[in-house]
Amino acid sequence: TQLLEQSPQFLSIQEGENLTVYCNSSSVFSSLQWYRQEPGEGPVLLVTVVTGGEVKKLKRLTFQFGDARKDSSLHITAAQPGDTGLYLCAGPLIYNQGGKLIFGQGTELSVKP
Amino acid sequence: DSGVTQTPKHLITATGQRVTLRCSPRSGDLSVYWYQQSLDQGLQFLIQYYNGEERAKGNILERFSAQQFPDLHSELNLSSLELGDSALYFCASSVASVGLYNEQFFGPGTRLTVL
Residues B16-70 pLDDT 10s? 999 999 999 999 999 999 999 998 888 999 999 999 999 999 989 999 999 999 9
| A50:B100 CB<8 A | yes
| A98:B97 CB<8 A | yes
Maximum distance among all alpha carbons in chain A?
A: 44
pLDDT of residue A99: 83
Is A94 in CB contact (< 8 Å) with chain B?
A: no
pLDDT band with cut points at 50, 70 and 90 for residue A1: low
The nearest CA of chain B is from the CA of A85 a distance in Å of: 15
For chain A, percent helix, then strand, then coil, each to nearest 5? 5, 50, 45
Q: What is the pLDDT of residues A12-29, one digit of tens each?
A: 999 999 999 999 999 999
pLDDT of residue B87: 96
User: Rounded distance, CA A93 to CA A43, Å?
Assistant: 19
pLDDT band with cut points at 50, 70 and 90 for residue B13: very high
Q: Tell whether the model's pLDDT for residue B12 goes beyond 90.
A: yes
Q: What is the mean pLDDT of chain A?
A: 94
User: Rounded distance, CA B20 to CA B65, Å?
Assistant: 10
User: Which residues of B are less than 8 Å from A102 in CB distance?
Assistant: 45
pLDDT of residue B26: 96
- Chain A: residue nearest B95 by CA? A99
| A43:B106 CB<8 A | yes
Is A88 in CB contact (< 8 Å) with chain B?
A: yes
H helix or E strand, kind and range, residue A21: strand A19-24
Residues 6+ apart with CB under 8 A from A42: B2, B4, B90, B92, B106, B107, B108, B109
- Sheet containing B74-78: give its strands across: B5-7, B19-24, B74-78, B64-68
Query: Can you tell me the mean pLDDT for A9-13?
Result: 97
Q: Tell whether the model's pLDDT for residue A57 goes beyond 90.
A: yes
pLDDT of residue B111: 97
Is A30 in CB contact (< 8 Å) with chain B?
A: yes
Q: What is the pLDDT of residues B59-82, one digit of tens each?
A: 899 999 999 999 999 999 999 999
In chain B, which among 79-108 make CB contacts under 8 A with chain A?
A: 88, 90, 92, 94, 96-108
